[in-house]
Structure 1
Amino acid sequence: MNDMMTTTPDFSHEDAARLLAEHYGLDGTLSRLDSERDQNFKVIAADGRTFILKIVNAAEPEIESDFQTALLSHIAHHAPDLPVPHIHPTLTGHALAEATSRRGVRHLMRLVSWIPGIPLAETPRSQTALEELGRLLGRFDAALKGFMHAGALRDLDWDIRHAGRSAERLQHIADAADRALLRRFLDRFEAEVAPRLATLRAAVIHNDANDWNVLVAEGDHDHVAGLIDFGDALHNPVIAEVAIAAAYAGLDHADPIGAAAAIAKGFHAEYPLLGEELDLLFDLIAMRLVSSVTISASRSAHIDGNPYLSISEKPAWTLLRKLDRMSRRFATAILRRACGFEAVEGASAVGEWIRQNRKTFAPLLDKPAATYPAELVPYRDPQHPMTLISAAAKPHEAQAIWEEHCREHGIGLGIGPWGEARSVYSGDMFVSKLIDRTRRTRHLGLDLFMAAGTRVYTPIAATVKSVEIEKDPLGYGCLIALEHRPEGCPPFVSLWGHLAHEAMDRLKPGDRLEAGALVAEMGVPEENGGWAPHLHLQLSTDASLPASEILGVGEERYLDVWAELFPDASAFAGIAREFYKRQGRSHEEIVKLRKQLLIPNLSISYDRPIKFVRGEGVWLIDDRGRAYLDCFNNVCHIGHAHPAVVEAMARQAATLNTNTRYLHDNIVAYAERLTATLPKELTVAGFVNSGSEANTLALRMMRAHTGRENAVVIDWAYHGTTQELIDISPYKFQRKGGKGKKPHVHVACVPDSYHAPADWPMEEHGKRYAESVAELIAAMQAKGEAPGFFLAESIPSVAGQVFLPEGYLKEVYRMIRDAGGVCIADEVQVGFGRVGSHWWAFETQGVVPDIVTMGKPIGDGHPLAAVVTTREIADSFNNGMEYFNTFGGNPVSCAVGLAVLDVIEGENLRRNALEVGNHLMAGFREMATRHEAIGDVRGMGLFLGIELVTNRKTKAPATELARAVSNGARQRGVLMGTEGPHDNVLKMRPPMIFSKRDADHLLGALDDTFVAVTA
């Protein structure tokens, strides 16, 4: 007879009943309960109360019994509401009693309250129940904070820190494969886990929350009713509590990691876990099972009739084999995510860095991906032309169908989205290793469908991590992994699949690729795994994962985890978010409602109207997610939605907005900054809301100063929307709906050097065109009249981007002033540094106006405009009549104006306009050598025009061609307009932040358009 048998209590029912009456004064019905070492009886007392009578194994040191007593007493005092047994004292008031067996062995005895319920092991383990179990364990351990007892420091094989002892018991495992399996877990434990355990938080824990020690309510198996059996309580790492419960909860569970995650989530809600604890949880779960099967094997001689040890042995082996097949990283990611941690540390920082910096990325394709007319490639739509691609049965046929579909519908790019459910993943390789009887069906990459041979480039700098050929059918074919380590961002990996094999000879691990460098070409089916040509692009925020372990398809249940580990690569690739989700009314509905609700003479641009939903920098994004390079809308002078402008507007609007009758710093600060950009004579500012208001105010100032009405304007000029401005805008009054020229309006010819008489010497163009103004003045004077003002854009825009010949304004200004009039420079479209060389376009003519009007660019899209004049004219205007503009000069508008000036100056955008403008002019001139329709190229800074003609000698306008080029550029994702008396001048006014890369994109699209429309 061994020691275990001599110390195990063996009292009869009668003996137990006698001890119950003797020490506790109770009588009742007793029934035996299973136990490994002790002897337990369920007691139903005569008065209806229920208890457990525990007779302790004599081998247990008295200190351990005292430890359990102290633990239960501590819980009763600090957390009396916890559903755990409570000690019932003896008749003498003690927690423990003594009993002597028939063999003369002394045993301690304890009576505790009965916890009603049934073992969790006998019920389905729902996620709700497991989360409740985690909460109960968290509350239990939290209640034990600060509790310590010498008995908690005993040596125990079930101590997770001693799991390595299982190696000594491997000799009891008969099967070599099973031993090898356990050895893998043990080796990892000794090398990477055990050394870290000592650094973790430790406290007294239950240490044995197996599914027989956890009770659920009989009528509600989702509700955890109690926790029992504290015989293995121990001072141990806190995370061991979760690991032990999770190990048992995972037995026979279809999703053991999901079960562990539910327990961890519940525990974390009551007793917050740390990231470093969760990082070891998977290994600790496995090691609890390793301890269990090896201890069970070593005690095989003693388990007969005692199911406590053997009952979980078979499912424990099953679970160990599952865990062995799993990715530890993925399991850990699930556990971390369940507790609110990132799936991998730094995952959110990677996504945020990409979102913040994506505007600076190089295009992944030959041009930015968002500029291609794109279509979703849904694998679930049997009617879609790419259905054969989803089956991957006839890739060549599928590609031919797709290409025909693209030609018919004008599609340049097919997109297979992240997260899409795909039934195509039917092979054995897609069976889940996490969840029984489940397939991985959710696509975790981004597919870009284009022709074989399409080149793809890295958007940011990278180091080649691996280049390999995956030969499995329906695999990746040529597969490349790049590692990215941008400043201020955790490292991450991009995976590029289904590529041509040419990359194998060109790239090798360790190669450095700069942003925009070629990665590879899309492969043909014979080398890309048997698919129609496309790129599978995927990101991994776990930079340690090799390419072969990056999960391309994941389980739907854990899509939130995969979203952090393998985030959608759309932003990285340059796909606009609007591509995936369209909002608002359809184009047709908006057009219909415009006709019903708005004045009918509002025009819509382009043959096919565009619905824009977002602006960003130099781009406008439509409701289909297509990005258009904006070379036309010069209102957003420093780019659409510039952060500095948005921030200044929001900050001031959230603080105060009022009118100019009250004092505020912004209006004087802005006036001071604005006038500092102008010649010293122009010192007094007035603020309004639009260019039209600015020109109207300028006319009021002129009248107050001169007392005159006669206007001298340039033919085809446009100065605003009010009636008095239409009356002095030949572009309006001479066209359909106009009423012709009023008597006070005098129109000078357009000083267009391109159309000047051939016999005029170039150096005399300015003087010769100025003679037209001299004749008008002379005619007025002959009638006893005189000009009140000369108003002209410093570069006539609507007239066809006309650049005034040298000396023109100097001569005209002299004539007007000699006749007593004032000179007004309309800088609404051309001011604020657009010409690059100067702040204001009039400065290129060497003149100083008497009044300058400005609008559009002044507020980068915010309704702000201004008039700046001389002190003399301002004093004349101060004639006793108050000038008041409700919104002009309000604090918000002035804050916006200041922000625009800050950006222009801080980012040196005048120099940028000059350099990029010169680059564009050189490109246009080179283009003119290849396209006969380009009659003239003209521009200064980022104010540019190309005049199209049917014949270069006659300079006959090519109006239809200009319209075709404008629409063709729009089809290629570039916005421009047409201007001039014949609408044959291509008009371009891109934002001041336009880069050389943007310029090259414009040049490429324009050249392609010319080739297409002139073919």
Structure 2
Amino acid sequence: MTDETLARCLELPRPDVTAAEASDILLSRYGLSGVITELGSQQDRNYRVETDDRRYVLKICHMAYETLELEAQNAAIRHIGEQADAPRVPQVVPSADGQDIVAVTVREQTFQVRLLEYLDGEGLTGHRHLPETSIAALGAVCARLARSLADFNHPGLDRNLQWDLRRAGPVAVQLLSAITDSAARDRIAKTMVSAVRRIQPFAPALRLQAVHHDVTGDNVVCHRDEQGRPIPDGVIDFGDIIRGWLVGDLAVTCASLLHQARGNPLNVLPAVSAYQAIYPLKVEELRALWPLVVARAVILVASSEQQISIDPGNDYVRTNLELEQRILDTATSRPFDLMQAAVLKAAGVEPAAVSTADWRPLLPDLDIGQIDYVDLGVQSPHFAAGNWMQADMDWRILARWAANAGAAATRYGEYRLSRATLLSKETPATCALHSDICLPAGMVVAAPFSGSIDWQNHHLILVGEGVSLHLDGLELDVEAGSTVQAGDVMGTVSGEASSLGGLRVQLSTLQGADVPLFCTASEAFAWSALCPSPAALLGKGVDAPKPATRDLLDKRQAHFAAPQKHYYSTPPEMERGWREHMFDVEGRAYLDMVNNVSILGHGHPRLAEAAGEQWLKLNTNSRFHYAAVADFSERLASLAPEGLDTVFLVNSGSEANDLALRLAWAHTGARNVLCLLEAYHGWSVASDAVSTSIADNPQALTTRPAWVHPVAAPNTYRGAFRGPDTAGDYLLDVLDNLGDIEARGEGLAGFIAEPVYGNAGGIALPDGYLAAVYAQVRARGGVCIADEVQVGYGRLGHHFWGFEQQGVVPDIITVAKGMGSGHPLGAVITTRAIADSLEKEGYFFSSTGGSPVSSVVGMTVLDIMADEELQRNAREVGDHLKSRLAALIDRHSLIGAVHGMGLYLGVEFVRDRETLEPATHETAAICARLLDLGVIMQPTGDHLNVLKIKPPLCLSMESADFFVDTLETVLSEGL
């Protein structure tokens, strides 16, 4: 195709062929008929055809496009189909007379027609969010396709195509005339000029081969993996195949991903890494990649603007223009140099380091070995109780250290806790790309290398060869624009005599002053190449140690027993908490919506102080006599209904439930225990025996000992009987089990259940269920155990104990988790008669259960709960949260129901609201996506399809709203 022909093609609308006319073509030339649906296209007219047994795509294009080019597309498809490990591609379907390309005249216009197989699967463009796995898979498909075309040749590949990135500059000039907005036109033109200038030095080294040149979200088809993520495995639409730059093929793919990158171009790097692992690019190609991505973005925007001007009714193009503008904005949102460094590192190539061998001292009058480097990271001992959120806290700590040491500096590469942002879906810029040094005012500052002086608003830039030094806090002794030699005095540290001053030190290989002081953790690997450490100026101690999260996880997995699982496949390393927030080592704040252990919230100073004071006095086992255990036991008994006045103190909920079962056995002399299906009560031998949740133990239903009798789960949402008025229906199974026990002539020890179905997501039991079951159990001499470990202790808001919601009083209450707010503490509360029954088996003790520290912790938790009105907060915030979650049901069909009350809630996801098919994979993907957006959440239930919402009781209204808003973002954008 000549330049003149290309110009004419650029001005062509889609072929004017209606669906009815396409149907006639299909029948007359291919002998096929079926349902026809138009598909979107830039310049072809495409129709999907559905016959009784197969699906096809009918492609109609202008005669201006040479037949040889269409033949190249068909030949490439056949070639790829013969290659090992190539992606799926649609096969060419010949006409009834054996032709691959058919000339057809419609209303005196002749077009070229082809029929291709329709590849099943979904595309990627419709997804507003793509997980990293999908991004990497698209890069891998692009690489596999390019590798399969490496030895393909055809004369139809050598053509002029507006999308050929070798011609991006001239094509842009042709297209710009269609853009009427002069500001937009100028911006696009300048952007293309910058991109072309950066491509040109590498152009001679860029390899040529046959490339698809359009492996985008529109032109791939996907399957879903086990987590429900879309994984590209097939490629369609070979209309842009050419002999072009190999790296240009990847540039097209990267550009297509940018509209789903949430404004961060580095999000596409998994595609680069995946491509490089399969079909490696040369260094020159990697350096040219991002300018080519920008060039592609410019052509996309300019082409759509031009196409709309000649085909105003093309809604496909009009819709795409918004996405293409987003691609261009994202592609140019970071400096070229940063993206080049990021691409190189993603491909496993380290950029060249700045040479500092000949540098002179920056502070010739200061022994840098005497500088104290201050820890301002997430684990810094200088931070507590949220004080890092106070204004200028970092500087105040630095100044305090400098006052003692003479000079103190912050650390380069440190993830600053003070930069953490609460309730943010975006990752904050916490990584320091500079160092602040506090030292005596008036101290001399010299040039470490030769260069010119640039002075902008008290910001000095020493511009050297390939590197610049940025300084703030300086009194200038040289003129702006002057040249200095290494060792020359540039100025002195600002400040009054005999006082301390501050000097900010930063190195950069970027030109100009616009260099960030902080970057996000995800961009630190790239920015550190452009803003290297000032260790050559301030000493090696200025470099903060890098987080060793991966090594730490390896250590955990090497020595921590495998059955002790961790949340998430790649978990963040959490090292600090504050109220309902947790912080990883990179300063990312997460809203903790699952931590019912930390009932007061994380890092409560009053609790820490009380525990510390008692530990300094005494901590021993409860067989010694001391005030705290007596006071705490009395306090617990006062919280229980009348008659439940005797307390055992243990370390956990598992121990509490285990002890409760032992008490039932001892008191009744019988062994048989009724429990509920889908329930969890602990890990000890006895508590595990009555735990029937297959999510916690897949063998639970087949490994119960003979004394355990599970009864039907009274799940009012998805159980055998649904709704609140089903107590009588579920009681029948209880009666059947009791009848079987009686028929064998055996006695009944008791019945254990959570008063609210906690493990199923906080589902309320049917009205009157516990009253009816308790009556039947007691009539047979058994005792009734209420497992309040998860749902009790004020969490429900409307009730302190869960059994109050059912209007019953148990014989034994078990409690743990929140009662210690993270300290190992559990309790059994019962009657004196039941407690004394254990004497028949000997005495009982728990070495640290009820220890002085544990007892003080327990009392302090109750004091704080009362003083801070946390049960009231659970009620008010919980009701608001549930109301907002319930409002999502009408907008998102994936939500089946919202369960629970107070701050024990569950959101259940189903694929079908009639069949209640659990959306297990989707729930896992939702939890993973919520983590990306700053929310900690985990699934529960036998099908792992329920969000288990049980945050610290100090949860604020603002945090509750953030959680719902973030969940809606996930459901709206896709998983």
TM-score (norm 1): 0.47
| Bigger Cα Rg | 1
* Higher RCO, Cα 8 Å, sep 6+: 2
